[in-house]
Amino acid sequence: MRKNLLFTADELLLDERFLTWVDGVVNEDDNQWVNSLITYSPEQEDEVAEAVSLHRALRLRLHPSEGLQQQQKRLLLQLDRLDKQAGQKRISKSLLIGTLFVGLFAGLLWWNQSTLEVVTEKIRASSRDSRTLSDGTQIKLAGNSTITLGPGFDDAPRREVWIKGEVEFVVQKKKDKKPFIVHMDPFDVVVTGTAFQVTHLQQRSSVLLREGSVELIFKDGQRLQMSPGDFYAYNRPAIASKEQPGLIQQGPVLERKIVFEDLTISDVAAQIESRYPVKIIIGSADLANRRITGILPNDNLEVLINALQIATESVSRQQGSTIVFTPQ
């Protein structure tokens, strides 16, 4: 079944393109994307329909001034209407009502434009903006980027944020080693204290680790540990259209690369040695002190070495686990 799907109903509910379309907002690109998605396969069309039903079912108005019993009675009546009108099967009344009222007791739920949301702190940058969060973490937001802090950010067991756009972090370490988690649609970034840059756009999400270490946790449970200089990118599946019928991809495109920012070749060699079980010898002082800035593939040692040869105009020879670089 999954081979006939690009997105499940649950995944669609987390996608801004779908939400724009289902809310009736005029956006030609997003509307065309969903229309192309519907025609992808009958199974995919069913998932879109299911997502629409779920989205409508969750658009429940809350009036905090009403008593809890009145809220419960009104919600039950609305859910009964949904059951009759849409044949809704996937939402459990008891589960939904329990979730809503736990939130009401905690004082975390509010109503805004017919959407149920959790009260959080949101920081939006119209141009490049630098700030320090309440836990001491330093952030730099690119223009038109936002960061949303989870409820009770500094006091909660986990410091959680959600981003849109591009944000650089220098995370403040905590004595209790409380993790810092950046949420993005395809994966989460988990860290205790480090410097990294994340980008989360409609078609692409990426992480560039500058210092320390982070772990990426994907929706399917897979985990990836990153080292300083590692660059990881996730490209969303493309959807075919009448104009470009060959764009369909059966799954996400994952890229892993290593970033060198004005490093000497000897520093580059040290980074490669930290990632692979090899010893690298630079055959001349001139080559060792030459500096390099760029992004090279990091999926395969042989590909990385070949790319480094081209970038530094050098040649290499390998004997066992030792690789020697010399000028051309």
How far apart are the C-alpha atoms of 71 and 202, rounded to whole Å?
A: 36
More confident residue, 236 or 233: 233
pLDDT above 70 as % of the chain: 72
Please give the angle made by the CA atoms of 51, 53 and 56, to the nearest 5 degrees: 105
pLDDT of residue 56: 67
pLDDT of residue 89: 42
Residue 113 has pLDDT above 70, yes or no: no
More confident residue, 118 or 278: 278
Residue 111 has pLDDT above 50, yes or no: no
Pick from 205, 224, 222: which is nearest to 213 by CA?
A: 224
pLDDT of residue 99: 38
β-pair partners for 296: 258
Helix, strand, coil % in the chain, rounded to nearest 5: 30, 35, 35
Question: What DSSP designation does 151 have?
Answer: T
pLDDT-based confidence at residue 115 (cuts at 50, 70, 90) = very low
Number of other CB atoms surrounding residue 91 within 10 Å: 14
Point out the least confidently predicted range of 74-83, 116-125, 212-221: 74-83
The full set of domains in the chain, from first to last, is 2-118 (no CATH), 121-251 (2.60.120.1440), 259-327 (3.55.50.30)
More confident residue, 61 or 325: 325
Average pLDDT, integer, range 68-93: 50
Average pLDDT, integer, range 31-52: 79
pLDDT-based confidence at residue 141 (cuts at 50, 70, 90) = very high
Residue 100 has pLDDT above 70, yes or no: no
pLDDT of residue 91: 40
Q: Which residues contact 84 (CB under 8 A, 6 or more apart)?
A: none
pLDDT-based confidence at residue 161 (cuts at 50, 70, 90) = very high
Average pLDDT, integer, range 99-119: 35
**Mean pLDDT across the chain, nearest whole number?**
76
Residue 137 has pLDDT above 90, yes or no: yes
β-pair partners for 198: 167, 207
Residue 65 has pLDDT above 90, yes or no: no
pLDDT of residue 193: 83
- pLDDT tens-digit profile of 277-325? 899 999 899 999 999 888 888 878 888 888 888 888 899 998 889 999 9
Residue 112 has pLDDT above 70, yes or no: no
Pick from 274, 190, 186: which is nearest to 229 by CA?
A: 274
Q: Identify whether the C-beta of residue 312 lies closer than 8 Å to the C-beta of residue 325.
A: yes
More confident residue, 289 or 29: 289
pLDDT above 90 as % of the chain: 20
- Give Cα 54 distance to the centre of its chain: 23
Residue 264 has pLDDT above 80, yes or no: yes
Q: Identify whether the C-beta of residue 235 lies closer than 8 Å to the C-beta of residue 206.
A: no
103, HSE (Cβ side, Cα atoms, 13 Å): 18
Average pLDDT, integer, range 29-45: 78
Point out the least confidently predicted range of 91-105, 118-132, 224-238, 266-280: 91-105
pLDDT-based confidence at residue 73 (cuts at 50, 70, 90) = low
Q: Three-class SS string for 52-82?
A: HHHHHHCCCCCCCCCCHHHHHHHHHHHHHHH
